[in-house]
């Protein structure tokens, strides 16, 4: 890996920014933390929300942090009810175009339904960390608006 | 953005943070609308509870309806260029509160202090109408005192149990503090740290800044801290010291931009040598010394 220390960071492209969120009452965050570290090691700037996030809190964080991707980590099985609300809250704050991915204990049988909710990809329990990183790199949109 | 649209603010922050050239116009455009915010710098070694303290302060400021923004800075990995930004968790999420703006910032490899991008981000938040802008960074000693050049008021946070480190820190961080907070005040040893700090200052010639014992987790002492901050702000305004602090911030920023400009010019030095073969010929033929030739070329750069 190349060393990226430089005093003139202005002239380099900016890192991808990701929000890793733990929605709902799911209290297990070891997997999310592993994902955060893997993304950091891949060169992303990762904002981790911590546990027990409501859809409003997730949208609030995504908005303020101006992330390129929202990653939802869920092991509680409540994804079918939580995901549509989260996508709705993201729309409410104007983030309808943001890339949203989900991971955790999500059965394959739910995958197709989830993909129609506005979530771009689902990473089940067997998914590798690299597959998530690679997916994000390939699918992060170029920004269309300029201030 | 000037009207406070949160998405516009967030996007503006991203632009000024990362892309100097295309948004030099943005900072220039916003700059006349800046100057009203008070910038509070909060620094100290890692693990002393700065983010939790910021969370408690934010809570108090929002209760008194003051509009607050926070830039929480964490180091980027020098290997991958990425960063794990976890301060937001401790500061607390207040969905729906438009008077609070919290943003996590990765240092992006900038050594010894705060990057120029952060100065731009402060201007964005200032122009957007936030009265208080909290700059939270890690400071571990003499090399990390850049925060004093980017803030109006500096708060240094310590905890009990740092032992000999206090002596090392004293030479740098503690001397620049407007207020010193001994956090985790519920731990044994906290009172001793406070009195050790007081006596170190008593031995010197400068008056000690306020030294407060606080427990950010239980919020004990936080109200006194808010009073101390307001008192300090009033004092620097009344004594006129605010002017010299403003000038220091301005001078620091001008110098930083100047260095960026000059570094860009320097990158063209190689091209310049290639473009001026006559000068090089003069050196080969001993008409000019290498240093004389370099001086001639240097005049062409600026």
More confident position, B147 or B251? B251
Residue of A nearest to B76 (CA): A45
How remote is the C-alpha of B106 from its chain's centroid? 12
Concatenating the DSSP letter of every residue in A3-51 gives: ----S-GGGSPPPPEEEEE-BTT----HHHHHHHHHHHHTT-EEEE--S
Cβ-Cβ contacts under 8 Å, A8 against chain B: 260, 263-264
Strand, helix or coil for residue A124: coil
Residue of A nearest to B83 (CA): A45
Strand, helix or coil for residue A121: strand
Q: In what order do the strands lie in the sheet with A99-104?
A: A121-123, A99-104, A69-74, A17-21, A45-48, B83-85
Angle between helices A30-41 and A129-139 in degrees, nearest 10: 60
Q: Sign of torsion, CA B200 B202 B207 B208? A: positive
Is the CB of A14 less than 8 angstroms away from the CB of B18?
Answer: yes
Concatenating the DSSP letter of every residue in A51-112 gives: SSB-HHHHHHHHHHHT-SEEEEEE-SS-HHHHHHHHHHHHHHTT-TTSEEEEEES--HHHHH
Concatenating the DSSP letter of every residue in chain B gives: -TT--HHHHHHHHHHHHH-HHHHHHHHHHHGGG-S-PEEEEEE-STTS-HHHHHHHHHHHHHHTT--EEEEEEEPPPTTTS-EEE-HHHHH---TT-TTEEEEEEE-TT--SS--HHHHHHHHHHHHTT-SEEEEE----SGGGGGGGGT-SEEEEEE-TT-TTHHHHHHTTTGGG-SEEEE--TTSTTHHHHHHHHHHHHHHSSSPPPPEEE-BTTTTBTHHHHHHHHHHHHHHHHHTSHHHHHHHHHHHHHHHHHHHHHHHHHHHTHHHHHHH-HHHHHHHHTTSS-HHHHHHHHHHHH-
Is the CB of B108 less than 8 angstroms away from the CB of A9?
Answer: yes
Residues A9-25 pLDDT 10s: 555 678 999 999 999 99
More confident position, B263 or B284? B284
Name which of A3, A61, A95 is nearest B79 (Cβ-Cβ): A3
More confident position, B145 or B6? B6
Distance from CA of B6 to the nearest CA of A (A): 7
For the cut 60, the answer to whether the pLDDT of residue A123 exceeds it is yes
- Please choose, from the candidates B38, B54, B42, B40, the residue with its C-alpha nearest in 3D space to the C-alpha of residue B173: B42
For the cut 70, the answer to whether the pLDDT of residue B219 exceeds it is yes
Is the CB of B263 less than 8 angstroms away from the CB of A7?
Answer: yes
pLDDT at site A145? 38
Mean pLDDT of A40-50: 96
Q: What is the DSSP letter of A140?
A: P
d(CA B6, CA B18): 19
pLDDT at site B55? 96
Residues 6+ apart with CB under 8 A from B187: B159, B160, B161
Distance from CA of B251 to the nearest CA of A (A): 19
Query: In the structure, what pLDDT confidence band is assigned to residue A1 with cuts at 50, 70 and 90?
Result: very low
The owner of tokens 């994000």 is A136
Name which of B84, B104, B115 is nearest A9 (Cβ-Cβ): B115
Query: In the structure, what pLDDT confidence band is assigned to residue A126 with cuts at 50, 70 and 90?
Result: confident
Residue A93: CB atoms within 10 Å: 18
For the cut 60, the answer to whether the pLDDT of residue A5 exceeds it is no
Residue of B nearest to A94 (CA): B7
Cβ-Cβ contacts under 8 Å, B83 against chain A: 15, 40, 45-46
d(CA B262, CA B116): 15
Residues 6+ apart with CB under 8 A from B198: B208, B211
Mean pLDDT of B277-288: 92
pLDDT at site B22? 62
More confident position, B279 or B110? B279
Kindly state the tokens that stand for B169.
């820190």
Mean pLDDT of B82-111: 90
d(CA B173, CA B180): 10
Q: What is the pTM of this model?
A: 0.89
């Amino acid at each position: 890996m190349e060393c990226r220390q430089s005093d003139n960071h202005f002239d380099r492209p900016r890192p991808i920014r990701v929000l890793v969120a733990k929605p709902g009452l799911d209290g297990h965050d070891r997997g999310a933390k592993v994902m955060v570290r893997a993304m950091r090691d891949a060169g992303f700037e990762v904002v981790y929300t911590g546990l027990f996030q409501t859809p409003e809190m997730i949208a609030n964080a995504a908005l303020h942090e101006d992330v390129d991707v929202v990653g939802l980590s869920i092991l509680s099985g409540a994804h079918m009810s939580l995901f549509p609300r989260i996508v709705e809250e993201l729309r409410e704050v104007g983030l309808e175009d943001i890339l949203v991915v989900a991971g955790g204990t999500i059965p394959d049988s739910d995958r197709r339904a989830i993909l129609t909710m506005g979530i771009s990809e689902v990473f089940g329990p067997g998914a590798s960390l690299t597959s998530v990183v690679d997916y994000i790199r390939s699918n992060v949109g170029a920004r269309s608006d300029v201030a | 953005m000037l009207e406070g649209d949160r998405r516009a603010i967030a996007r503006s922050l991203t632009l000024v943070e990362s892309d100097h050239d295309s948004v030099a116009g943005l900072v220039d455009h916003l700059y006349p609308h800046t100057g009203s915010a008070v910038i509070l710098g909060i620094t100290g070694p890692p693990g002393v509870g700065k983010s939790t303290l910021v969370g408690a302060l934010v809570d108090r400021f929002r209760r008194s309806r003051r509009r607050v923004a926070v830039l929480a800075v964490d180091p980027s990995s020098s290997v991958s260029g990425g960063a794990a930004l976890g301060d937001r968790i401790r500061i607390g999420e207040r969905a729906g509160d438009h008077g609070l703006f919290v943003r996590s910032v990765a240092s992006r490899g900038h050594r010894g202090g705060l990057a120029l991008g952060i100065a731009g981000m402060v201007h964005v938040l200032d122009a957007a109408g936030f009265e208080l802008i909290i700059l939270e960074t890690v400071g571990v000693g003499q090399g990390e005192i850049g925060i004093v050049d980017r803030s109006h008021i500096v708060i240094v946070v310590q905890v009990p149990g740092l032992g000999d480190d206090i002596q090392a820190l004293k030479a740098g961080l503690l001397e620049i503090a407007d207020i010193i907070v001994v956090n985790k005040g519920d731990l044994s040893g906290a009172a001793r740290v406070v009195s050790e700090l007081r006596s170190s200052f008593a031995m010197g010639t400068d008056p000690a800044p306020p030294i407060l014992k606080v427990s950010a987790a239980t919020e004990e002492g936080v109200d006194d801290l808010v009073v101390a901050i307001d008192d300090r702000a009033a004092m620097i305004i009344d004594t006129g010291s605010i002017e010299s602090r403003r000038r220091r911030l301005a001078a620091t920023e001008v110098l930083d931009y100047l260095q960026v400009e000059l570094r860009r010019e320097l990158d063209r030095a190689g091209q310049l040598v290639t473009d001026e073969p006559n000068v090089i010929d003069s050196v080969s033929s001993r008409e000019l010394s290498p240093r004389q030739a370099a001086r001639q070329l240097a005049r062409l750069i600026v």
